Structure 1
Amino acid sequence: MREEYGQKQDVLLCPVKRISVVYNLKKAPSPSEPDDKYEEYDPISTVQSVADTLSSFGFHVSLCEQDENFFDRLKEQSPSFVATLAEGRGNARGREAQVPSVLESLDIPFWGSDSVSLALALDKLLTSRTLAGENIPVPLAVSFRAEEDLGKIPSLFQRNDRFVIKPRFEGSSKGIFTDSVAHDPSEMEEKIRRLWHRYGQPALAEEYLPGDEITVGILGNEKPRIAGMMRISPSTPGKEFLYSLEEKRNYLE
């Protein structure tokens, strides 16, 4: 990240002996909650696998769940570094920045993006506007908060014939289903209302872009490098493909 954003260009290396793995534990949603409520959270097997791998390099590793006892547990463990898998608690749009913000305030180094990057990235509309401000092409995106916003729907279909309807503040394809593409105004309104009811947050209508899904892993700040790339292609060529929640859950099929 460039120095103008307040990041140090060079990170001083320091001895790391104690590592805390911070996480949110996946659990079953209640009957009143969406079935993907805790989709982003990790099962204990994943958390333990990360801890075991770090331990194999000689580090002293502790597990630290981000729950109501998180602050006391972190203080007790007194880590010199944190491996955070945490997604944050609650439904706030800045929840992924919760753990990084705490660690930054305590001057504890951790892996992954900083709190500002994570808070921005979870809000799909703000991310789109930020990228557009840097002259990076982005699909047309419109936010729908309340009934009065629905009047914007007809004009959208004068600009494009398909839109993906998704929650504005979610990740891991939460709220994005195989039927989340709207092909006409009535479909769009129905899908927007479904998301309002299900997630209690604004819905985002985003121009549908055909083609494969590409994920790129990047390491480093001042001189970042590509760690690897993953390409997701439809099993049926020519199909209207959407990397939905169902696709991610059934990735072995």
Structure 2
Amino acid sequence: MRVLLIAGGWSDEREVSLSGARGIENALFALGHEVILFDPTDRLTELPDAARNVDFAFLNLHGAPGEDGLVQALLDRVGCPYQGAAPAGSFLALHKAAAKALFVDAGLRTPAWEFLTAPPPEGWEPSIGYPLYVKPNLGGSSVGMGRADDRAQLDAVLALAFRHGHEVLVEEALAGEEVTVAVLGGEALPPILIRPKRGEFFDYASKYEQGGAEEICPAPISRELTEETAVMAKAAHEVLGLQGYSRSDFMVKDGVPYLLEVNTLPGMTPTSLLPQSAAAAGLDFPALVARLIELGLRDHGHSDSHNP
């Protein structure tokens, strides 16, 4: 097949996107596909024409565009299949406050939060107690995220988050361990337990620097917790109306999992979580890429007869 590998973009996560694209490109070559690299940063208006001349688009974008559904909407208009969520599900998952509202509506546990659309007035106090995490509402990879343990720290982390976006989520900081669970083709993959080594939470450095966190897969957690997080991850995937794959992040406090957020274009760098979880389920990196293409073709009503 001719595959349009879309990566880069203009979000704060551009370099992460490009890093992952190199591994995906190698996997696509190993699978026998022809690969055309496409960075929408300066070429967004060329995307419809480029998409008409390929068999499939493989997205490795983070933030906007990509996780906001814009690129998916353009691809839909020209009939080019791609892996993962459609435009609506992409945007709902990226918009943390909207996603959490849907989680609560579906009975899924999530930490308490407040949604801010502008910097609050001086002296503002959140309705939820400290400690708090403050993060850009539409961001990812923990870019612009900070923690406030008291009012003295709050202004600084709010200012950091608002530098990275016009909307901010203030969220209850639960003490516990972080677990992430991927869904692939409707089935939950083995969970991963994350223990950051470089700070108090799974920040950008912990995620993307070698040795930034201890990531144990399968997670050494009870069978009951494994089953509960799998059920919640699949439910979140369905509540948001996603296709193909996703990755749900949880904080486990006193043995009880709380859903933090859902990623519709999980990272695909060598240190990323989805490839680790897929490997534990018996899928090496090229096999994972092949499976994502298979699911994308299926979800868009195409057969996989073009596969080499």
The TM-score normalised by the length of structure 2 is: 0.60
Q: Does 1:103 align with 2:75?
A: yes
* C-alpha distance 89-131 of structure 1, shift in aligned 2 (>3 A): closer
CA contact (8 A) 1:219 1:226 kept: yes
CA contact (8 A) 1:51 1:62 kept: no
> Higher relative CO (CA 8 A, sep ≥ 6), structure 1 or 2?
2
Aligned to 1:164: 133
Q: Does 1:126 align with 2:98?
A: yes
Aligned to 2:57: 82
Number of residue pairs aligned between Structure 1 and Structure 2: 211
Deviations 1:68-96 (A, max 9, x none): 32443552461111111123657xxx863
CA contact (8 A) 1:40 1:171 kept: no
Q: Does 1:143 align with 2:135?
A: no
CA contact (8 A) 2:17 2:62 kept: no
Gaps of 5+ in 1: 1-16, 27-36
Deviations 1:206-253 (A, max 9, x none): 001122222222112xxx0123432212459xxx83111232244415
Q: Does 1:23 align with 2:23?
A: no
CA contact (8 A) 1:22 1:65 kept: yes
Q: Does 1:199 align with 2:161?
A: no
Q: Percent identity?
A: 22
- Of stretches 119-128 and 80-89 in structure 1, the one that deviates more from structure 2 is 80-89
Q: Does 1:53 align with 2:27?
A: yes
Amino acid of the structure 1 residue aligned with 2:177: D
Shift, 1:173, TM fit: 0.7
Write the distance in 1 (CA, Å) between the matches of 2:157 and 2:95: 19
Shift, 1:119, TM fit: 0.7
CA contact (8 A) 2:144 2:161 kept: yes
Aligned to 2:13: 39
Amino acid of the structure 1 residue aligned with 2:191: M
The TM-score normalised by the length of structure 1 is: 0.72
Q: Does 1:241 align with 2:214?
A: no
* C-alpha distance 106-41 of structure 1, shift in aligned 2 (>3 A): farther
Write the distance in 1 (CA, Å) between the matches of 2:120 and 2:83: 42
Amino acid of the structure 2 residue aligned with 1:230: I
CA contact (8 A) 1:24 1:65 kept: yes
Aligned Cα root-mean-square deviation (Å): 2.8
User: Computing the radius of gyration over CA atoms, which structure comes out larger, 1 or 2?
Assistant: 1
